[in-house]
Amino acid sequence: MKAEEQTIEVSPEELQALVDRAEQGKLKEGDAQLIGAIVKLIIGLHSELLEKNTSITRLKKILFGSTSEKTVKVLTDAEGEPKADETTKDEEQTVGGQKEPKKEKPKGHGKNGSDKYTGVEKIRVDHAQLKPGDRCPVCPKGILYEFRRKHPVVKLRLIGTAPVQGKAYELQSLRCNLCQKVFTAAMPEGSGDEKYDGSVGSIIAVLKYGSGFPFYRLEKLQQNAGVPLPDATQWDIVEQMDRLTYRAADELVRQGAQGTLVHNDDTVMKVLELMEENKAIRQEPNNKSRTGMFTTGIISVVDGRRIALFYTGRNHAGENLGLVLLHRDPDRGPPIQMCDGLSQNIPDGFATMLANCMAHARRNFVDVAEIFPDECRFVLEILRDVYKNDAIAKAQEMFDDQRLRLHQRQSGPLMLKLKNWIDEQIQEKMVEPNSSMGQAFTYMLKRWEKLTLFLRIPGAPLDNNICEAALKRTIMLRKNSLFYRTLHGAHVGDRYMSIIHTCYLSGVNAFEYLNALVEHSQQLSESPQLWMPWNYHEQLDDRANEYTA
């Protein structure tokens, strides 16, 4: 147990007398104890002030703070101006003889070209007066032919509409003047039998679970556009569509379980159904049931493809990852797992090669850069060079083994230098262990083996940023919609977010993909592995060829 500290009460007059005796060299018995207590008090106050200053700095960043954690920006904010040896953004930088790719300014005017508008209807317009084979109107001896331009002439015309549009078919009715029988016109061929086309569910899902657009907000927008779509109706539509598309989400889980690399993390989420359960739990003093609510994000890398999975409920990230790994083939070895340093991210009963996020360790130094500028400069500049090496590997599209050798050759000595320096700071008591800087050192040393897995295992990443970016989809939904009403609604949202974010990671149009799943729901149910975001176009092409033949 911590020893109880002795309280010494000293008046200002007694302190002044102590100073006088010290100046005269006539200290008496008990003065040494008093001086020691004063020194201890000063050290404690200094430590507390540093902690408070750090907390205030973090609060300032949350409210108004830096939009970037780049080394140049952090050190500039900490010291007022960058050091003379700091390279500028436009300079070509080298690390260990390897040139980092220089960022070139994009060519052109910065606007989107016509080829970027993949979702617009394409209409071919033939020349009004001329056609291939005609005589040239300028030189009568010439013959016109189809000119295949590398970049065809395209004129864009964009129109504004509500997300959900429709048509009202007014059917003519005829009645016999004798028997009074009424004859009503049939619906035009191809107009469909249902009030809500399958694409309505797709656009609602993309808006809600892909862009965080709440049902009630879409209801207001549709009402103002003259096409009413109540929020309850929106939920009915997406829930019904989920019954047709859930097999795609299940297949993503099965394939995601086979990943060689998995990222996981979680964030808080509100579910009204679980919040009601919490009220009952709190009323029972002996009830120790869990009351937390979370959404877990998992990014799995399988054969170079990235699969996103989301889970909402009581479970932590490690427990949800364990549920995914239940689908892992037994003959596959343990995956690399990237997460932050919390124990709740680790799955029980499944072996993984655990790596911790370097960005989390680095952020501890970013937060205290204004308080300890010199120490943070040393750490941040070393980590900057490590990240530059990783950028070189990505730019040169290195294989995992090549990337590992690059890091071992270039980043290994840097990380060893950093560790030795931190050890020296602690051993020589250059930093107070309980200060913010001391805690940053302790965090890094405690997780050193996991933070440096990228120096030993091919394919081990530096950080968990890709998973944190995925969780922003959930955070955006939470900020706009505030909560899920039921756990069932949360699970429906998880499946849609898994599909939509996997489409994003695969460079696929999520709206078109959901439309395809609804239209071919029977084929999806029979062979879901053939209807993934990265291969469903092959099935559409095959069916188009069969129809043409």
Question: For the segment 498-548, what is each residue's pLDDT rounded down to a tens digit?
Answer: 999 999 999 999 999 999 999 999 999 999 999 999 999 999 887 767 655
Q: Are residues 226 and 289 in the same domain?
A: no
Q: Among residues 348, 358, 419, 350, which one has the least CA distance to residue 387?
A: 358
Per-residue pLDDT band at 56 (split at 50, 70, 90): low
Q: Are residues 317 and 402 in the same domain?
A: yes
Q: Are residues 267 and 359 in the same domain?
A: yes
Give 337's strand partners.
Answer: 262, 354
Q: Are residues 304 and 419 in the same domain?
A: yes
Q: Which of 429, 448, 471 is a domain's end point?
A: 471
Q: Are residues 274 and 376 in the same domain?
A: yes
Q: Are residues 394 and 500 in the same domain?
A: no
Q: Are residues 227 and 280 in the same domain?
A: no
Residue 141 lies in a domain: no
Token pair for 374: 């010199």
**With contact defined as beta carbons under 8 Å apart, do 491 and 312 qualify?**
yes
- Span 445-470, mean pLDDT? 95
Whether the pLDDT of residue 305 is over 90: the answer is: yes
- Span 167-173, mean pLDDT? 88
The structure tokens 């200290």 sit at 27
- Span 322-339, mean pLDDT? 95
Residue 242 lies in a domain: yes
More confident residue, 173 or 85: 173
The rounded distance, in Å, linking the Cα atoms of 252 and 230 is 31
Residue 289 lies in a domain: yes
The rounded distance, in Å, linking the Cα atoms of 269 and 291 is 12
Token pair for 466: 């890709």
Residue 479 lies in a domain: no
Q: Are residues 241 and 291 in the same domain?
A: no
Q: Are residues 494 and 381 in the same domain?
A: no
Q: Which of 471, 497, 519 is a domain's end point?
A: 471
Give 49's strand partners.
Answer: none
Residue 238 lies in a domain: yes
pTM, rounded to two decimals: 0.80
- Span 17-23, mean pLDDT? 84
Residue 114 lies in a domain: no
Q: Are residues 297 and 366 in the same domain?
A: yes
Q: How many residues does the chain have?
A: 549
Within 10 angstroms of residue 427's Cβ, the number of other Cβ atoms is: 8
Q: How many domains does the chain have?
A: 2
Give 339's strand partners.
Answer: 356
pLDDT at residue 335, as a whole number: 96
Whether the pLDDT of residue 3 is over 50: the answer is: no
Query: Which structural domain range is residue 444 located in?
Result: 257-471
pLDDT at residue 52, as a whole number: 56
Residue 96 lies in a domain: no
Token pair for 441: 């050192």
Q: Are residues 529 and 382 in the same domain?
A: no
Q: Are residues 384 and 262 in the same domain?
A: yes
pLDDT at residue 58, as a whole number: 58
Residue 107 lies in a domain: no
The secondary structure of residue 138, as a DSSP letter, is: S
Per-residue model confidence as pLDDT tens digits over 84-133: 444 444 444 555 555 555 556 666 666 777 777 777 788 888 888 888 88
- Span 144-161, mean pLDDT? 81
Q: Which of 420, 444, 471 is a domain's end point?
A: 471
Query: Is the CA virtual torsion 17, 23, 29, 34 positive or negative?
Result: positive
What's at 542, amino acid-wise? Answer: D
Per-residue pLDDT band at 232 (split at 50, 70, 90): very high
Question: Which residue blocks in 183-259 are alpha helix, DSSP H?
Answer: 198-205, 211, 215-224, 231-256
